[in-house]
């Protein structure tokens, strides 16, 4: 993705996270989505103002591990709001069956335009993952993920997040529109 390659801040974040050598590790959600939305709205910022979601799949279950990793990233790059989450256990919070990988977890994030992730390969190339393609992000469409197991959070998230103020061209496809295409 050219947008990531052309952003020194995004590349720096990818390199910093890669240096942690976490298993099955990706940067996702707003890290990519916001970059696309900013670009589509003509907004030029070095790295969008949301948290930087670092997700990995580690078998060891240490309650403090995510917090320790977050602090390590904040120490090395304090200008970014890091959020680190081991996806091997997040299924319990979401009420899902256990996930088999980080990609499996990303496929269950709340909105289709949020189910995006990137990482650097050992060769330094950007690897991308999108559970539903990049079309919704580039087309400025917000729709609920049909694989997200919770009811209601999509509309609550739309109200809670400042997305529509920052990116006024976004189009919301409501849950009821998906179940009743005539409305």
140-162 pLDDT per residue, tens: 999 999 888 666 667 788 888 88
Q: What is the pLDDT along the chain (183 residues), one digit of tens a residue?
A: 899 999 999 999 999 999 999 999 999 999 999 999 999 999 987 776 678 999 999 987 776 899 999 999 999 999 899 999 999 988 888 788 899 999 999 999 989 999 999 999 999 999 999 999 999 999 999 999 988 866 666 778 888 888 999 999 999 997 554 444 443
pLDDT of residue 54: 97
pLDDT of residue 36: 95
| Residue ranges of E strands in the chain | 26-28, 52-56, 82-86, 116-120, 126-130, 141-142, 171-172
Distances (CA, A) of 123 to 58, 118, 126, 131: 22, 14, 9, 24
Domain count, the chain: 1
Supply the pTM of this predicted model: 0.89
**Closest by alpha carbon to 73, among 124, 115, 31?**
31
pLDDT of residue 180: 41
pLDDT of residue 94: 79
pLDDT of residue 182: 40
pLDDT of residue 183: 39
pLDDT of residue 157: 83
pLDDT of residue 123: 93
CATH at residue 16: 3.30.460
The DSSP bridge pattern shows strands 52-56 and 126-130 to be: unpaired
| Token pair recorded at residue 59 | 């078998």
Domain hosting 118: range is 2-179
Helix, strand, or coil here: 86?
A: strand
């Amino acid at each position: 993705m050219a947008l990531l390659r052309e952003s020194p801040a995004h590349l720096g974040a990818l390199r910093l996270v890669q240096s942690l050598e976490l298993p099955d590790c990706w940067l996702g959600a707003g890290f990519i989505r916001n970059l696309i939305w900013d670009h589509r709205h003509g907004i030029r910022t070095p790295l969008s103002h949301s948290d930087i979601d670092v997700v990995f799949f580690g078998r060891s279950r240490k309650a403090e591990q995510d917090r320790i990793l977050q602090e390590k990233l904040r120490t090395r790059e304090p200008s970014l709001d890091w959020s680190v989450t081991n996806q091997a256990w997040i299924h319990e919070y979401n009420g899902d069956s256990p996930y088999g990988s980080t990609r499996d977890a990303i496929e269950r994030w709340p909105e289709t335009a949020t189910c995006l992730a990137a990482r650097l390969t050992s060769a330094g190339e950007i690897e991308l993952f999108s559970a539903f393609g990049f079309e919704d992000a580039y087309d400025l469409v917000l729709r609920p993920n049909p694989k997200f197991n919770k009811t209601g959070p999509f509309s609550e998230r739309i109200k809670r997040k400042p997305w529509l103020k920052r990116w006024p061209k976004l189009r919301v496809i409501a849950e009821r529109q998906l179940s009743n295409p005539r409305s």
